[in-house]
């Protein structure tokens, strides 16, 4: 395509080194979508005739059919998906096909194609993420009245509702969902018409191509359009935090399912065995989620390092931006394929969970005793010190906190009265933590109900967005937006 300027053919090793077909062939459908919108706009503004626009659009439809049927095989000599499609179009339509690229550079063409592709991929990720949120709500409702230990420093801390635990992850992944929605909004602008970097001397109708491709608005600065990869960074930011949350949760479930903890039951269908030890039940899926997280974070860092020193505007380095993007998308697809159904099948051994708290001599109730003393007028620091002495007594004598008589407690804490017995139970400890957002059973129920409402609203929003994007999945759909025949 640049032989008018060069005397020598491109060296074969350079062709091999600079080609991106191994990377960008997956973009063929979205490249054709952008081209159909562009050529229809060229026809409307009179750069080409309506008949030529129709002929090119029909030719692009033929190329699409050839690719999807496997008839058309791309050539590495043509460097990328964009030039392969344009070359085949010209073979089919002759000189008319060569008019397609008027008013367009590969810079704004690629930027548009990638946005169309990523927009579609993010819809599928959003749907899977909402499925995961639904699994958390289901587990929270089922396990709302089950009491487990909450942990700090991986040491028993205070008794909590298992439903409260599941709702904690609901909140974390809900934030991920909102970050994903932000990433989707940040790419919802149309680069077509920005050209190589400075726009075009042709009277392009950027609003028309924007409408045809169902973007919210055209990009506002041609230099920024070509140079920026912020919308990719927004996706990677979401992906990294999502993967970190998935990894942390996986670590929890792995630990709680060990024999040493022993109160969480992972589904057999999401575990594997050992090639030598018949008794083993290994949480391989969760371990792989944990292991893949580093890859997702690495792709984020890759893009940031790639772009940190690039001068305005386009540099060939940016060809590599898609390598990490596609790998990250594929990794998230894999995680989200297994994580929602796994979470939906996690069960609990409530008796073992309670036994674990009792083995700890019921010391997880120590804070309840300290706050009981605060209600009696004891300054908290004094209450903390006094209860700490009582805890040491329990440990040294192997006595559970709830098993002490009022008399024994009074020896260490004179302010204790007979009503202390009313707080020394796991159920009452959880029930009394009724502050907003706390683990009290009623509070957890409120969290679940609120979560259901949020999930329903997000499902409705996603349904509308899917319908909007699917309206241009075919060439006829793109043309139908403007009523073009």
Q: Which residues are catalytic?
A: 153, 274
Name the residue among 386, 125, 355 with its Cα closest to residue 239: 125
**Distance between CA atoms of 78 and 69, rounded to whole angstroms?**
21
- Say if residue 61 is exposed, middle or buried (CB neighbours under 10 Å; 0-12, 13-18, 19+): middle
74 contacts: CB under 8 Å, gap ≥ 6? 21, 25, 81, 84
Residue 225 has a CB neighbour count (10 Å cut-off) of 25
* Contact present, 395 and 422 (Cβ < 8 Å): no
What ranges make up the beta strands (E) of 260-311?
264-265
Name the residue among 298, 154, 285, 313 with its Cα closest to residue 239: 298
**Distance between CA atoms of 41 and 373, rounded to whole angstroms?**
76
The conformation of residue 276, written as its DSSP 8-state character, comes to S
**Distance between CA atoms of 273 and 133, rounded to whole angstroms?**
29
**Distance between CA atoms of 257 and 75, rounded to whole angstroms?**
52
Which helix or strand (DSSP H or E) is residue 56 part of? helix 50-69
**Distance between CA atoms of 406 and 393, rounded to whole angstroms?**
14
CA distances from 283 to 128, 271, 291, 335 (A): 21, 5, 12, 14
How many residues are listed for the chain in this entry? Answer: 485
The conformation of residue 10, written as its DSSP 8-state character, comes to P
* Contact present, 82 and 113 (Cβ < 8 Å): yes
Report helix, strand or coil for 232.
Answer: helix
Question: For the residues of 281-306, what is the DSSP string, one character each?
Answer: -B-HHHHHHHHHHHHHHHHHHHHHHH
**Which tokens hold the place of 475?**
């060439």
**Distance between CA atoms of 182 and 173, rounded to whole angstroms?**
14
At CA 339, angle to CA 473 and CA 299, rounded to 5? 70
* Contact present, 292 and 330 (Cβ < 8 Å): no
**Which tokens hold the place of 386?**
């006094």
């Amino acid at each position: 395509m640049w032989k008018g300027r060069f005397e020598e053919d491109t060296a074969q090793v350079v062709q091999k080194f600079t080609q991106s077909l191994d990377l960008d062939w997956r973009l063929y459908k979205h490249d054709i979508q952008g081209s159909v919108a562009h050529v229809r706009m060229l026809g409307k503004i009179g750069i080409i005739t309506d008949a030529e626009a129709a002929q090119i659009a029909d030719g692009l439809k033929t190329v699409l059919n050839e690719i999807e049927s496997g008839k058309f095989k791309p050539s590495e000599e043509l460097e990328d998906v964009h030039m392969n499609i344009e070359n085949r179009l010209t073979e089919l339509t002759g000189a008319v096909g060569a008019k397609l690229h008027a008013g367009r550079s590969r810079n704004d063409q690629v930027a548009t194609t990638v946005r169309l592709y990523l927009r579609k991929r993010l819809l599928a990720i959003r749907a899977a993420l909402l499925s995961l949120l639904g699994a958390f709500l289901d587990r929270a409702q089922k396990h709302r009245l089950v009491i487990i230990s909450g942990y700090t420093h991986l040491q028993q801390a205070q008794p909590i509702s298992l439903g409260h635990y599941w709702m904690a992850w609901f909140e974390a992944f809900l934030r991920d969902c909102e970050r994903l929605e932000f990433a989707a909004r940040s790419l919802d602008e149309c680069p077509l018409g920005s050209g190589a970097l400075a726009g075009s001397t042709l009277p392009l109708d950027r609003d028309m191509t924007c409408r045809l491709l169902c973007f919210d608005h055209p990009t506002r600065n041609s230099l920024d359009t070509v140079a920026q990869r912020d919308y990719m960074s927004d996706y990677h930011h979401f992906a990294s935090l999502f993967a970190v949350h998935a990894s942390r949760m996986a670590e929890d479930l792995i630990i709680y399912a060990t024999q040493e903890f022993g109160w969480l039951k992972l589904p057999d269908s999401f575990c594997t065995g050992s090639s030598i030890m018949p008794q083993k039940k290994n949480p391989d899926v969760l371990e792989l989620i944990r292991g893949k997280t580093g890859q997702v974070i690495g792709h984020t860092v890759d893009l940031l390092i790639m772009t940190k020193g690039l001068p305005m505007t386009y540099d060939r380095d940016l060809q590599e931006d898609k390598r990490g993007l596609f790998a990250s998308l594929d990794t998230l697809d894999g995680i989200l394929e297994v994580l929602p159904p796994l979470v939906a099948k996690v069960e609990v051994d409530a008796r073992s969970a309670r036994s674990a708290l009792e083995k700890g001599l019921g010391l997880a109730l120590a804070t309840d005793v300290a706050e009981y003393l605060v209600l009696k007028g004891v300054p908290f620091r004094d209450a903390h010190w006094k209860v700490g002495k009582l805890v040491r007594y329990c440990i040294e004598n192997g006595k559970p906190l709830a098993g002490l008589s009022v008399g024994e407690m009074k020896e260490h804490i004179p302010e204790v009265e007979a009503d202390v017995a009313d707080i020394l139970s796991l159920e009452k400890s959880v029930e009394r933590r009724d502050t907003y957002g706390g683990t009290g059973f009623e509070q957890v129920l409120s969290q679940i109900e609120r979560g259901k409402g949020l999930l329903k609203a997000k499902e409705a929003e996603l349904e509308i967005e899917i319908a909007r994007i699917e309206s241009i999945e075919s060439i006829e759909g793109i043309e139908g937006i403007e009523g073009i025949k």
